[in-house]
Amino acid sequence: MLARISPIERSSQRRSVSFGDALWFLYCSLMQQSSMVPRGMSTRLLSLVWWLFALMLVSSYTANLAATATAKRMETPIEGAEDLSKQSRIRYGTLKKGSTMTFFKESKIETYERMWKSMSEEGGRRLVESSKEGISRVQHEEYAYLMESSMLEYAVERHCDLAQVGGLIDQKGYGIGLPKGSPYRAQISRAILRLQEKTILTELKNKWWKDKSHSCGAPMMGVDEDGGPVAGLALCLLGGLVSSTVFAITQFIASIWPRDETPIQSAPTLSALLSVAVLGIKAPGEVRRKFGRLDGVVEAADLEVTNSVLGRQRTKRAESLPTRKDRVRKRTLTPADMKALGF
């Protein structure tokens, strides 16, 4: 479009630039090759901005790709409850007087018995009063917090620096408590089953667990959460596009605008400047007020040189004129004489 608007591009191109030519030019610019050379200032500015954008984008992608390919994944030393029970560097605990603590306390499995013995050490300091306290200790200490799976998923979705390690230690379901023999028991059970069949419970969980949480997904290579450098490059590209369009429209308007055909006054001659320097001619006050000091001096110098030339011409004409006796003798003047007299 800019090539069609710019008068320089229209006059230099043998044929009009099509949409396919523009796409080919963009591709060749990415490959640092091009068979088309822009002529107009607007198209050159747009090409420069596009080349810079492509160069920075490809460089950023290449750098991040190389860093991702060469970086080693951090190995997690703990993969589950078994690994946690066999080490002593990372302390672990759970909520006091909670269902998880009751599970470890009453468990007869060797691994869980060993874990409960470790959590009971230090006077119960490894146990916490609330889940908020346990999450805070995980974030600031070498501490592993054991909690129910639903609460764990909720916390991980809202804190990107937390991660769930291993699978479930125990699996239990939730229910609604009713008095024994309540007539609502069967109705509530059937309603819950219908909600499960229609995946309404899953949708509600995704709504309150995932949709309301902060996005902790891995960002794209070279892109931050707020756009990062790619957003800055896009803004630069947009600014270059706007500037090029304004420049092309200005050139187009200037090319069709009617021009003043009045001839431009010629610059002062070298002889006039030399006359000013050698003779020290001063400009009249009127000329100096109208054109300024330098213009007045140049104008006066031209006037002096002209008067000098006219004076010499008049002297030559006077010498070539006939004398009084000749005029009296002839009494009639020829056209040449009249021309010599200046008539």
Annotated binding site for L-glutamate: 99-100, 148
CA–CA dist 9, 1 (Å, integer)? 11
Please state the separation of Cα 146 from the chain's center in Å: 45
Residues 6+ apart with CB under 8 A from 272: 298, 301, 302, 305
Residue ranges for the known binding site are 99-100, 148
CA–CA dist 67, 273 (Å, integer)? 70
CA–CA dist 90, 80 (Å, integer)? 13
Q: Got the DSSP string for 260-316?
A: P-PPPPPPPPHHHHHHHHHH-----HHHHHHH-HHHHHHHHHHHHHHHHHHHHHHHH
Please state the separation of Cα 39 from the chain's center in Å: 26
3-class DSSP assignment, residue 128:
strand
Q: What stretches of the chain adopt beta strand conformation (E)?
A: 91-94, 143-146
Given a contact cutoff of 8 angstroms between Cβ atoms, the answer to whether 291 and 266 are in contact is no
CA–CA dist 44, 36 (Å, integer)? 11
Nearest CA among 44, 53, 251, 237 for reference residue 36: 44
Q: At 167, list the tokens.
A: 């699978």
Given a contact cutoff of 8 angstroms between Cβ atoms, the answer to whether 283 and 293 are in contact is yes
